[in-house]
């Protein structure tokens, strides 16, 4: 079974039906084969609610609506384990484009993807730099 971990951008584009998410990928996520499993982090929900409060995304629903929407697509929330924190602790803070990549949510998503042995689906241009730390990545 292939396991895929959805980054924040992907979840936003999925729930807002944004055209930035490739139609075939959107359909694969919404209607997965029996061999595929999609998960996301509790921290993605946290980040989305924060972005909503800052009015950086236009999402009318509540956190509960968001979680229910994801569940309706068969997307589960992957719990944060002690091992995720251990992986995060070992993950170096990389300098990308002359800036330290200190975004806490990004780093948790990367660590959680590594720890759960999932392929992360992301649009973030910083994520490919973590491949050498065992991040499996599908760039969207």
Domain segments of the chain: what residues?
2-139
Judge contact between 123 and 10, C-beta under 8 A: yes
CATH number for the 2-139 domain, one of 1.10.260.40, 3.40.50.1010, 3.40.50.720, 3.40.50.510? 3.40.50.1010
Judge contact between 27 and 39, C-beta under 8 A: no
pLDDT tens digit at each of 140 positions of the chain: 899 999 999 999 998 888 999 999 999 998 888 889 999 999 999 999 999 999 998 888 999 999 999 999 999 999 999 999 999 999 999 999 999 999 999 999 999 999 999 999 999 999 999 999 999 999 99
Q: Which helix (H) or strand (E) holds 65?
A: helix 63-72
Q: Give pTM, 2 decimals.
A: 0.93
Q: Which residue is listed with tokens 């924060």?
A: 50
């Amino acid at each position: 079974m292939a396991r895929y971990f959805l980054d924040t951008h992907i979840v936003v584009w999925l729930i807002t039906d944004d055209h930035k998410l490739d139609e075939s990928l959107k359909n694969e996520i919404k209607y997965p084969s029996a061999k595929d499993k999609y998960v996301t982090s509790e921290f993605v929900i946290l980040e989305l609610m924060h972005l909503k409060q800052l009015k950086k995304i236009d999402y009318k629903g509540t956190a509960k609506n968001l979680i229910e929407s994801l569940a309706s697509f068969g997307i589960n929330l992957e719990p944060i384990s002690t091992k995720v924190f251990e992986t995060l602790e070992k993950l170096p803070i990389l300098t990308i484009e002359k800036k330290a990549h200190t975004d806490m949510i990004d780093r948790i998503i990367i660590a959680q993807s590594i720890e759960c042995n999932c392929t992360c689906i992301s649009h973030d241009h910083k994520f490919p730099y973590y491949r050498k730390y065992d991040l499996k990545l599908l760039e969207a």
